[in-house]
Homo-oligomer: A and B are copies of this chain.
Amino acid sequence: MEDEVDRLVAAWRRERPDLDVEPLEVLSRVSRLARHLDRARRLAFSEHQLEPWEFDVLTALRRAGTPYQLSPGQLLTQTLVTSGTMTNRIDRLAKKGLVERLPDPSDRRGVLVRLTDEGRDRADQSLAGLLAQERAILGELSRAQRSELAALLRQLTAPFDNIPG
C-alpha cells in the first residue's frame, strides 16, 4: 500500500531528478509516523485525564523502581526536553499532587523528584492503555517483522543515545 511519503518521494524525483532523495524514504517516514503517534497517544491518554508529557514524566519515575525518584537531570535525558521545560513540568505535576520535590541529601544543588502514591497509580493505569493502543497499530506486522524493525531502528538511535548530543 502506498503512503504519503511514496507520493512525496515521487514528486521530488519529478521536480529534482538531479538529487538522490532516497534518505527520505526512511527518515521522513520516521518523522511523520511519530507525529501520527503523538496524536493517537493524546487521544488514548485523554481517557485517563493525562497529557502525553505527564505520562512521559510519571512513567520515567515509575520505571526507576522504589522509591520512585529521579533527579531532574535524569528526567531530561529520558524525555529529551530542555531543563526549563522540565522545571515547568515538575511544577505542574507537583501542583496536581502526582509528584513531590525533595532536597537531594548528597548534593545540595540537587533535587529529587518522587512519585506520590496517586502518581504511581496513574502511571500504571495509563501504561496498560498505551500498550493496548500500540499493539493495535503494530497489528500490521508479524512478530518477526516487529523484531526486525526494532533492530534496524536501534542502529539509528544508538549513536544519539550514546554519544550525547
A residues near B (Cβ < 8 Å) are 1-6, 8, 11-12, 14-16, 19-27, 29-38, 62-65, 77-78, 80, 124, 127-128, 131, 134-135, 137-138, 140-141, 145-150, 152-162
Contacts and interface: CB of A to CB of B under 8 A. Distances in A.
A125 to B, nearest CB: 12
23 contacts: A1-B155, A3-B158, A4-B78, A4-B161, A11-B64, A15-B65, A16-B127, A19-B128, A23-B134, A23-B138, A27-B37, A27-B134, A27-B138, A29-B153, A30-B30, A31-B34, A33-B34, A33-B153, A34-B34, A137-B156, A148-B152, A149-B152, A149-B153
The 7 nearest A-B residue pairs measured at CB? A34-B34, A23-B134, A25-B150, A29-B153, A11-B63, A1-B158, A4-B161
A142 to B, nearest CB: 10
A68 to B, nearest CB: 10
Given A15-B62, A23-B146, 7 more contacts: A3-B161, A4-B157, A16-B124, A25-B147, A27-B137, A32-B157, A35-B80
A108 to B, nearest CB: 28
Nearest to A140: B155
